[in-house]
């Protein structure tokens, strides 16, 4: 309930200048993007979620509960690490990592999940479902479900259950049911379709914890707000560490949640350039990629209008990436709007470039990043070389690479025939 008149006033004044207050509009639009394209059956649930989210946003009790969880469970604030040796490779620029990889469960995904899990409890629902690609969102959801005593079902493309077997095991250990999805391309987009079907069938008892800043309103805004802590913390940390704002903030973009989280802390700082690195797969020109903004067109997918990979008939085209977490043919609507408005720049990074950067970070800093994150690192190396030694670049280190050890070992040929024993990847 909004009874605080000064709060309302502050919000109204803020709306005049702040991007975050200006977008989305009341119907969930970021410019021409976003909105709701869903079966009528889901509208009431979306309205209910919207009301719960808006109430929680201004409820000190909710905010305190979430902050307490982050401090005592997630491990927030996550540190910012300066990477001197990595910076030498990146043209001598000063490169800083926002260490979301050090969060409980190993990625930024937990920020959003804890927020939505608290909302689930508030709405009186007993069951959560989720889609997952790399398995990080699935693991985070299974974790929160265990913590709050909720039933949990995670939909995961069959192809991804193979690529990310370690995370499938983690979810099962945490008590979640993992449903392999065999429809379509058997990856993240099909997992999301299946989760939507479950939701429309079980909406009375179930909350669908969407894992990125996509889906029908209010998801893109709500997920941004739960990840905004990344940007808020790291802005203060950078000021503390360097005495000024960075020249550029970079992140990888799948659906776009880790990127929006860190961007949202800097979006009103006009001098800070924002860079999103999409998965370029074999190269955008080959057609085998997952770069919705760089290589896609405007369309409607999974309940919202944004950039999508599609053919001339509007059929979704399968995406390709070495990174399961970026292997998605769409992107959150706010990124589409940030791209069109010129506030952020989106660039595709190929599998090969990402894996090279993965290797560099391992060898120069003793940090094994998620392959998703490696896309941001590859883009940062290029950017650093462009901007030169005086530049300060903040990278969102969205996750750690434990789940990717097998994929990376195969890529670099370091398993040399002796395959890791099952379950010990």
Ligand X SMILES: Cc1ncc(COP(=O)(O)O)c(C=O)c1O
Residues that are catalytic: 83, 108
CB of 316 to another protein, least distance (A): 4
CA dist., res. 277 & res. 374, Å (int): 10
Closer residue to ligand X, CB minimum distance, 99 or 235: 99
Closer residue to another protein, CB minimum distance, 188 or 324: 188
For the sheet with 297-301, list strands across it. Answer: 29-30, 33-34, 304-308, 297-301
Answer for which of 12, 25, 37, 287 binds another protein (CB under 8 A) is 37
Place of tokens 């869903």: 38
Using DSSP bridges, classify how beta strands 344-350 and 273-283 pair: parallel, antiparallel or unpaired. Answer: parallel
Non-local (6+) Cβ contacts of 412 within 8 A are 355, 359
CA dist., res. 337 & res. 304, Å (int): 13
> Under the criterion CB under 6 A, does residue 187 sit at the interface with ligand X?
no
Non-local (6+) Cβ contacts of 324 within 8 A are 133, 134, 135, 160, 163, 164, 187, 188
**∠ Cα 103 212 312 (to 5°):** 145
Element (DSSP H or E) covering residue 40: none
Binding partner at 315 among another protein, ligand X, none, C-beta below 5 to 8 Å by kind: another protein
> Under the criterion CB under 8 A, does residue 183 sit at the interface with another protein?
yes
Q: Which of residues 310-339 bind another protein (CB under 8 A)?
A: 310, 312-316
Q: Which stretch binds ligand X (CB under 6 A): 48-56, 58-66, 254-262, 356-364?
A: 254-262
Non-local (6+) Cβ contacts of 61 within 8 A are none
CB of 103 to another protein, least distance (A): 31
Q: Which stretch binds another protein (CB under 8 A): 60-68, 165-173, 302-310, 358-366?
A: 302-310
Binding partner at 422 among another protein, ligand X, none, C-beta below 5 to 8 Å by kind: none
Binding partner at 38 among ligand X, another protein, none, C-beta below 5 to 8 Å by kind: another protein
Answer for which of 87, 157, 256, 295 binds ligand X (CB under 6 A) is 256
Q: Which stretch binds another protein (CB under 8 A): 162-170, 189-197, 218-226, 341-349?
A: 189-197
CB of 223 to ligand X, least distance (A): 8
CB of 132 to ligand X, least distance (A): 7
> Under the criterion CB under 8 A, does residue 205 sit at the interface with another protein?
no
Answer for which of 81, 107, 161, 193 binds another protein (CB under 8 A) is 193
Answer for which of 120, 141, 206, 212 binds ligand X (CB under 6 A) is 212
Binding partner at 254 among another protein, ligand X, none, C-beta below 5 to 8 Å by kind: ligand X
Answer for which of 83, 134, 309, 355 binds ligand X (CB under 6 A) is 134
4 burial level (CB within 10 Å; 0-12, 13-18, 19+): exposed
> How many of the chain's residues bind another protein (CB under 8 A)?
35
| 182 C-beta neighbours (distance < 10 Å), count | 11
> Under the criterion CB under 6 A, does residue 164 sit at the interface with ligand X?
no
Answer for which of 253, 308, 374, 408 binds ligand X (CB under 6 A) is 253
17 burial level (CB within 10 Å; 0-12, 13-18, 19+): exposed
Answer for which of 35, 133, 157, 330 binds ligand X (CB under 6 A) is 133
Closer residue to ligand X, CB minimum distance, 75 or 92: 75
Closest C-alpha among 302, 412, 422, 310 to residue 362: 412
Answer for which of 303, 332, 333, 379 binds another protein (CB under 8 A) is 303
DSSP character at residue 73? I
Binding partner at 212 among another protein, ligand X, none, C-beta below 5 to 8 Å by kind: ligand X
CA dist., res. 86 & res. 275, Å (int): 18
Closer residue to another protein, CB minimum distance, 58 or 300: 300
DSSP character at residue 413? T
> Under the criterion CB under 6 A, does residue 394 sit at the interface with ligand X?
no
Closest C-alpha among 98, 100, 96 to residue 393: 96
Closest C-alpha among 262, 297, 332 to residue 34: 332
> Under the criterion CB under 8 A, does residue 204 sit at the interface with another protein?
yes
CB 292 within 8 Å of CB 276: no
Residue nearest to ligand X (CB): 399
Closest C-alpha among 43, 140, 128, 100 to residue 398: 100
Q: Which residues bind ligand X (CB under 6 A)?
A: 107, 133-134, 136-137, 212, 252-259, 325-326, 370, 372-373, 398-399
Binding site for another protein (CB under 8 A): 27, 35-45, 183-184, 189, 193, 196-197, 200-204, 299-303, 308, 310, 312-316
């Amino acid at each position: 309930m909004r009874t605080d008149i000064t709060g309302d006033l502050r919000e109204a004044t803020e709306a005049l200048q702040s991007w975050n207050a200006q977008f989305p509009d009341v119907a969930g639009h970021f410019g021409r993007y976003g909105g709701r394209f869903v079966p009528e059956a889901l509208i009431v649930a979306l309205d209910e979620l919207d009301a719960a989210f808006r109430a929680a946003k201004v409820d000190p009790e909710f905010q305190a509960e979430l902050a307490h969880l982050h401090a005592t469970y997630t491990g927030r604030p996550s540190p910012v690490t300066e990477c001197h040796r990595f910076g030498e490779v990146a043209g001598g620029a000063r490169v800083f990592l926002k260490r979301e990889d050090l969060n409980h469960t190993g990625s930024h995904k937990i920020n959003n999940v804890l927020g939505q899990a608290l909302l689930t409890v508030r709405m009186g629902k007993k069951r959560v479902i989720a889609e997952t690609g790399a398995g990080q969102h699935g693991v985070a959801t299974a974790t929160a479900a265990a913590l709050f005593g909720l039933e949990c079902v995670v939909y995961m493309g069959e192809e991804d259950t193979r690529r990310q077997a370690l995370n499938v095991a983690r979810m099962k250990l945490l008590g979640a049911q993992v449903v392999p999805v065999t429809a379509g391309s058997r990856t993240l987009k099909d997992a999301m379709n299946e989760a939507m079907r479950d939701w429309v069938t079980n909406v009375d008892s179930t909350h669908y914890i969407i894992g990125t800043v996509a889906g029908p309103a209010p998801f893109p805004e709500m997920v941004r707000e739960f990840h905004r802590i990344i940007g808020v913390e790291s802005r203060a940390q950078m000021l503390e560490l360097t005495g000024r704002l960075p020249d550029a903030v970079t992140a990888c973009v799948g659906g776009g949640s880790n990127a929006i989280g860190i961007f949202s802390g800097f979006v009103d700082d006009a001098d800070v350039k924002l860079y999103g690195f999409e998965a370029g797969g074999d190269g955008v020109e080959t057609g085998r990629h997952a770069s919705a903004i760089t290589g896609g067109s405007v369309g409607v997918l999974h309940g919202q209008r944004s950039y999508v990979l599609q053919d001339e008939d509007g059929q979704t085209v399968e995406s390709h990436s070495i990174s399961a977490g970026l292997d998605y043919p769409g992107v959150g609507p706010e990124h589409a709007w940030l791209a069109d408005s010129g506030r952020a720049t989106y660039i595709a990074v190929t599998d090969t470039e990402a894996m090279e950067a993965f290797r560099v970070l391992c060898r120069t800093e003793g940090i094994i990043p998620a392959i998703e994150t490696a896309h941001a690192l590859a883009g940062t190396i290029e950017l650093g070389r462009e901007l030169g030694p005086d530049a300060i670049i903040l990278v969102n280190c969205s996750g750690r690479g434990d789940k990717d050890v097998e994929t990376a070992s195969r890529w670099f040929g370091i398993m040399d025939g002796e395959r890791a024993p099952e379950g010990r990847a």
